[in-house]
Structure formats: C-alpha cells, structure tokens
Amino acid sequence: MANNKALGTGGRKSDKDLKIRVKTAKGRKVASTKWLERQLNDPYVARARAEGYRSRAAFKIREINEKHKLFKKGMRVVDLGAAPGGWSQVAASAVGSTTEHPLIVGIDYLDMDAIPGVILLKKDFTEEDAPAMLIEAMGGHGADVVMSDMAWPTTGHRATDHLRIVHLIEIAADFAIQVLNPGGSFVAKVFQGGTEHELLHMLKRHFATTFHVKPPSSRKDSAEAYLVAKGFKGSGSAED
C-alpha cells in the first residue's frame, strides 16, 4: 500500500516519495479511495490522533479560539452537531469542565462515546423539543458560547443542499439568541457564498461584531467556512 520507493543517493525522501498511495480495490469506489488517500496523508489527522482528539475538526475550533478568544475558564458552552466530539474536547479543556461540574452540553443524532465534562444528548437538533432539552441539560443556566459544526449529508442537488444548510444555521442562530448570556459568542459552519444576507443582518443587530473565518485546518478545496459572532447584546436588545 505505502509507496516504498528506494531512497535517492542523498538518503532523503522527497514529499512525493513520502506520500502514501492507495490502490483502487475491487468494490471500493474511486471517491472512497481518494478519501482514504487524503486521510492517510493529512497531517491534521495524524496530529489529532497524537493529541488524543476524536476528530481533525478539533483543530478548527482551536484555531478559531486562538484568533477570537472565545473560551475562558468557567464558561458554559453548547456544541451543536458534536459527534465524534473534537470540538467538545477542546471546549471542555479550555473552560475547565469536569465530570463533577460539567460546563459543556453537546447534541448529535449520532451515537457518541462519553467525554469527561460533557453532557451529551442523542437527538436531532431540528426536532421541536431539542432546544428545551438542551436548556434543561444546562440546568437552566445561560450559555457563553453556542457553537455549531452541523451539516446535513449533501443530496447532490445544489439548491436543496443550500436550503437545508441555511435552515440549520438559522435555527442554530435562533437558539443562540435564546440562550446566550450578554457578551456571549456564536460560531457556526457556513458555506461559500457566505452567510445569507438576512441572517447576517439579523446577527449584526444582536452581536457587536461578526466575522467570516477560514481556519488553516479547514481543507482549502472545501467550500466550508465559519461565521463568528461576538459580544451578544442580550435578548430583547435588537428591534426585530
């Protein structure tokens, strides 16, 4: 499987030599082979494994936090679309969440292994009772950060995919406005073409500052980006 070409006379392998190539196998689609090859050669995948993160996505929120200073010790955080748990791991460590005193609540419709300091709900966030369940899991406390890495699996139909993604971001933003403490932050995965004009306008009224961020660990060839809204003005602060 690995490309074990002989070393040159200098004894140093070039990057090309080091790249792991995956041969197509009977029954495996070309797309799966390309995905596997990309995973095996992705430095963030290796770093995530070495640093004990569940996903390479962990680096995205770490990089966003380094730039925007979202987390402080003692803050409460909601993680929407949490599986397999990289963002929750980063947040739990940054705010000092513990099993005895959990400060993070995560939700995903997929099964997840337990994470120390994180309360996990297995639930589709778009279901009507999901926000109330999250608020209950937070013990009635407000949140300081609401972060969403949610995305539906794509259908291949561009217009449908776009509408579904916009809907997810909108309900995540509505939830954030409902539960954030004044001064709180909202982070959400968005896609190229940017955030819908209306949504961005609404967020600008509720937050002091809004940014679009493409963290270095977000794949260059992916349309993904993140919206960061900081300085929540408090519920009822913006005239809707």
Ligand X SMILES: C[S@@+](CC[C@H](N)C(=O)[O-])C[C@H]1O[C@@H](n2cnc3c(N)ncnc32)[C@H](O)[C@@H]1O
Residues found near ligand X in the complex (CB under 6 A)? 54-55, 57-58, 81-87, 107-110, 124-126, 149-152
Among the listed residues 23, 72, 189, 230, the single catalytic one is 189
Q: Which is nearer to ligand X, 84 or 215 (CB)?
A: 84
Three-state DSSP at 150 gives coil
Six-digit token pair at 120? 């996990």
Smallest separation, CB 189 to ligand X (Å) = 7
Smallest separation, CB 106 to ligand X (Å) = 9
**Residue pair 229/203 in contact by the 8 Å Cβ criterion:** yes
Six-digit token pair at 197? 């004009």
**Residue pair 48/60 in contact by the 8 Å Cβ criterion:** no
User: Any idea which residue has 């995948």 for tokens?
Assistant: 45
Smallest separation, CB 77 to ligand X (Å) = 12
Q: Which is nearer to ligand X, 39 or 235 (CB)?
A: 39
Distance between terminal CA atoms of the chain? Answer: 58
Smallest separation, CB 30 to ligand X (Å) = 23
| Euclidean distance between CA atoms 196 and 92, whole angstroms | 31
**Residue pair 69/95 in contact by the 8 Å Cβ criterion:** no
87 marked among binding-site residues: yes
42 marked among binding-site residues: no
Q: Which is nearer to ligand X, 224 or 233 (CB)?
A: 224
Q: Which is nearer to ligand X, 128 or 240 (CB)?
A: 128
| Bridging pattern class, strands 77-80 and 104-108 | parallel
10 marked among binding-site residues: no
Has 23 been annotated as catalytic?
no
108 marked among binding-site residues: yes
Smallest separation, CB 81 to ligand X (Å) = 3
- List alpha helices for the chain, DSSP H: 15-18, 30-41, 43-50, 58-68, 86-95, 130-137, 158-179, 197-206
Integer angstrom CA distances of residue 136 from 75, 105, 119, 121, 169: 17, 10, 11, 11, 22
**Residue pair 59/41 in contact by the 8 Å Cβ criterion:** no
Six-digit token pair at 31? 């797309």
Q: Which is nearer to ligand X, 84 or 184 (CB)?
A: 84
List of residues 6+ apart from 28 with CB closer than 8 A = none
Question: Binding site residues for S-adenosyl-L-methionine, as ranges?
Answer: 85, 87, 108, 124, 149
Question: Binding site residues, as ranges?
Answer: 85, 87, 108, 124, 149
Q: Point out the residues that are catalytic.
A: 189
